[in-house]
Amino acid sequence: MSEPFAARLAARTARVGSVLCLGLDPDPAGLPPGFSPDVAGVERFAALVLDAGLPWVAAVKANLAFFEAFGSAGLAALERLRARIPADVPFVADAKRGDIGSTAARHAAALYDGLGADAVTASPYLGSTAIAPLLEREDRFVYLLCRTSNEGAGDIQDLVVGADLAAGWPAEAVHRRVARLAEGWSAHYGTIGLVVGATAPRELAAIRETAPGLPFLVPGLGAQGGDEAAVLASGGVRDGPWAERPGHGLLVSVSRGIAGAARATADPEAAVSEAAAGWSARLAVLR
């Protein structure tokens, strides 16, 4: 896998005409009737969602916790699901890693080499040297947590940090400082984007102003009720190489909004396909 992630994502986005990212987070407590709440049922349902949604999506994002919870059997299921994803569809491992350099190097080996992830999510909390092993792979990509979509995200991410007079940076919210730092790291590595939730539209717009050249992975539409219009207005890259590519570096993840269509229907595969097609059309963003 030597082609840069940016090129592979842009090619797939152009092929499907959408920035939709299919999220896989199969909760055993929320599976439709007919699917057992164990690892076998989780894998079977995730495979159904994956196969039905693939024709409509620019990428697939799997939340690793929903598979890790089952131990080695869950990881084996995740590996089999990964093998179902065609080579031209970028795969994002939603792992939220971030640790000291030696540990991060093993994260890179596990996620990139072991699982075959094209991109991962990671925390910037330990700083640039901690995530460097994830960033150094020129053919892979890292989405740093910036302003997440969950309730309570603002407890820390919206705190105001002091001005950095030496750098010429104003006092600002933590999420904007993360975006500012990430812009600088990107100038060196070129393999950094940001996770910015659709549930925080004002913050999303502010982060785009701070980091006009960084791609966004945006969760929070669908079941979380995020602001679709704000995402389409501010999610795309405005400056730099990503701005010239189909989709402008934007990926919008929808999980329950697609998988949930399988409930209370005699044909869950058709229902999921229809839901994925609908979201794909709503997120039809190209050059």
- Coil, strand or helix at 245: coil
In angstroms, the CA 193 to CA 185 distance is 10
pLDDT value at residue 120: 98
Q: Which residues are catalytic?
A: 96
In angstroms, the CA 148 to CA 204 distance is 10
In angstroms, the CA 222 to CA 229 distance is 13
What is the torsional sign of CA 259, 261, 265, 268? negative
What is the full DSSP assignment across 107-165? HHIIIIIIS--SEEEE--TT-HHHHHHHHS-TT-EEEEEEE-SSTTTHHHHTPEEPPBT
- Return the DSSP state at 37: S
Token pair recorded at residue 223:
């079941």
Bridge partners, 32 (sequence order): none
pLDDT value at residue 285: 82
Cβ atoms of 265 and 271 within 8 Å: the answer is yes
In angstroms, the CA 199 to CA 218 distance is 9
Q: What does each of the 287 residues of the chain score in pLDDT, given as a tens digit?
A: 568 999 999 999 999 999 999 999 999 999 999 999 999 999 999 999 999 999 999 999 999 999 999 999 999 999 999 999 999 999 999 999 989 989 999 999 999 999 999 999 999 999 998 999 999 999 999 999 999 999 899 999 999 999 999 999 999 999 999 999 999 999 999 999 999 999 999 999 999 999 999 999 999 887 777 889 999 999 999 999 999 999 999 999 999 999 999 988 889 999 999 999 999 999 998 65
pLDDT value at residue 287: 54
Is the pTM value of this prediction over 0.85? yes
